Amino acid sequence: MFQQLRSFLGTRSDWSISLPQLPRHPSVGWLGPLVIFLTAAVSYLPFIGATGDDGSVTLSLFAGAASIVLMAWSFVLALRVRLIEPLFGGLDRVYKSHRWAGVLSAVLMFLHPRINPEIEGGILGASKNTADAAEGLAETGELMIYGLIGLSLLRMIPYRWWRWTHKLFGIPFGFASWHFYTAEKPYANGSGWGWYFSTIMVAGLVAWVARVFVRDNVGRGARYRVVSHELSGDLLTIELAPEKTGMDFSAGQFAFLRFDLPGLGEPHPFSIASSPSSKNLQFTIRCLGDWTKALSTAELMNARVQVEGPYGAFKPSGKLPQRNVWIAGGVGIAPFLSALGGTEATPDVLFATRTADTDPLVAHLRQAEQEGQINLHLFESSAGNRMSPDALEQLFGPDGLIGAHVALCGPDALVRSMANAARRLGASEVHTEDFDIRSGIGPERSVEINELAGQLAESARRSRSAATP
């Protein structure tokens, strides 16, 4: 029993937290996070000098205000507005900013009522009865936020449950905003600072409504149909043909797929594995979660699909033509498949797999090597040959990556360790991507939990049937 529980809970690496990282060199991708930081940081200014019964309340009021600003940004970023994508360096980093803005908002929300929040000599934003009622709602919303963030962070929660609970964040945000508007503050709601915070709160609420009630319910993207699909083990390859005009994209980008099939209408992101010159789109999907498992068993032929995109700023090939090195694990190879044949210099491909002989992706890569498109370096974990930073130096030598463009996609731990090694060996450009929209901590156990929930529901149904005379 203990061994089963230990296996279910996964390994220590499953519970590690990946901190956000800005690009190593100044770029346009810094602007988005910088704007978020500045809009939250200036929230300190209107509360300087505010006092209460026990001294300064500046930090408490700032924590409450910054919490609301960050949560509003989290809703705005969830809209997937393409115009702001370059300001973060790609949609994958937009979503990372979205998640961390939400987490930091919850931390500040926790600190706000615990650092002497009662101000003296301030200006109420409404009557005292209204302000007191709003404060009670905010306290309820605070508890709600903690529960929702806890559910959001656990990867073992089935995706569809996570997605529906994620839609509820706007409720506690509305409570907190109403409390902030009606509470006693050093300024009036009609002042400049009042307009500043009110605009941010309204923007956050509008973004939440647009995301939950409009965007999620209105079809978006180009229409395609499934023209072929093949399941090999847990790897599903799907080819889509456009019904009318196809989608233009660049190698390395991804798109959201929404299938017009029962239970598969949720949009999920996948890297495009086909060439930009191809009219059809191809996707390589590892079926490990509850949604992808359902996709692998569905009747897909001729199914209609909405394809929203393209998104992402991942560049398999760099500006420097002398050497391209592609490092991938599992389906992280998909964006590189899209770039095959499109580079001036033959790229070196380092690919990590569990068992090479049964991995259809390996067969594809070996074919590409025979055609002279890549130089393939396989790492097979079942044979004890794991990809590691030391392996990178053994392949290229201590100076072998000077001037090279290194692109990486795959499991987060693998990408981080290999990216650091590539920089240490002198790579001029190191480009990574992680468009795990959900992210979180813990192992992926949604399939097991989904099956358990189904068994419990079936057991309850039988019990009700037996109890019915």
Alpha-carbon gap, residue 427 to 407, rounded angstroms: 10
Instruction: Show the domain range for 230.
Output: 222-311
pLDDT in tens, 205-230: 999 999 888 876 766 789 999 999 99
Summary mean pLDDT of the chain: 86
- Inter-axis angle of helices 128-153 and 170-182, nearest 10: 150
Looking at residue 434, what is its pLDDT? Answer: 67
In a domain, 69, yes or no: yes
Q: How confident is the model at residue 141 (pLDDT cuts 50, 70, 90)?
A: very high
Q: Are residues 50 and 170 in the same domain?
A: yes
Q: Are residues 172 and 306 in the same domain?
A: no
Q: Are residues 32 and 69 in the same domain?
A: yes
Number of structural domains found in the chain: 3
In a domain, 42, yes or no: yes
Q: Are residues 233 and 139 in the same domain?
A: no
Whether the predicted pLDDT of 18 surpasses 60: yes
Q: Are residues 209 and 135 in the same domain?
A: yes
Least confident of 170-174, 296-300, 442-446: 442-446
What sign does the CA torsion over 89, 95, 97, 98 have? positive
Report the CATH number that the domain containing residue 248 is assigned in CATH. Answer: 2.40.30.10
Q: Are residues 57 and 173 in the same domain?
A: yes
In a domain, 459, yes or no: no
Which residues face 258 on adjacent strands?
A: 306
The pTM score is 0.82
Looking at residue 357, what is its pLDDT? Answer: 86
| H-type alpha helices, 169-221 | 170-182, 192-209
Of the ranges 149-158, 163-172, 275-284, 343-352, which is most confident?
A: 275-284
Looking at residue 10, what is its pLDDT? Answer: 65
Q: Are residues 96 and 207 in the same domain?
A: yes
Alpha-carbon gap, residue 121 to 119, rounded angstroms: 7
In a domain, 48, yes or no: yes
Domain final residue pick, 215, 247, 277: 215
What sign does the CA torsion over 18, 23, 29, 34 have? positive
Phi then psi for 421, rounded to 5 degrees?
-65, -40
Least confident of 113-117, 134-138, 190-194, 291-295: 113-117
Q: Are residues 164 and 46 in the same domain?
A: yes
In a domain, 259, yes or no: yes
In a domain, 122, yes or no: yes
Q: Are residues 256 and 346 in the same domain?
A: no
In a domain, 284, yes or no: yes
Q: Are residues 404 and 300 in the same domain?
A: no
Q: Are residues 128 and 256 in the same domain?
A: no
Report the CATH number that the domain containing residue 395 is assigned in CATH. Answer: 3.40.50.80
In a domain, 446, yes or no: no
Going by C-alpha positions, the residue among 44, 46, 40 that lies closest to residue 186 is 46
Which residues face 378 on adjacent strands?
A: 351
User: Higher-confidence residue: 153 or 194?
Assistant: 194
Alpha-carbon gap, residue 2 to 11, rounded angstroms: 14
pLDDT in tens, 27-47: 788 899 999 999 999 999 999
- DSSP for 251-314 reads TT-EEEEEESSTT--S-EEEEB-S-TT-SSEEEEEE--SHHHHHHHHS--TT-EEEEEEEE---
pLDDT in tens, 319-333: 655 688 999 998 899
Alpha-carbon gap, residue 58 to 186, rounded angstroms: 10
Alpha-carbon gap, residue 404 to 35, rounded angstroms: 32
Q: Are residues 47 and 140 in the same domain?
A: yes
Q: What percent of the chain shows pLDDT beyond 70?
A: 86
Domain final residue pick, 283, 311, 339: 311
Q: What is the mean pLDDT of residues 184-212?
A: 95
Domain final residue pick, 160, 181, 215: 215
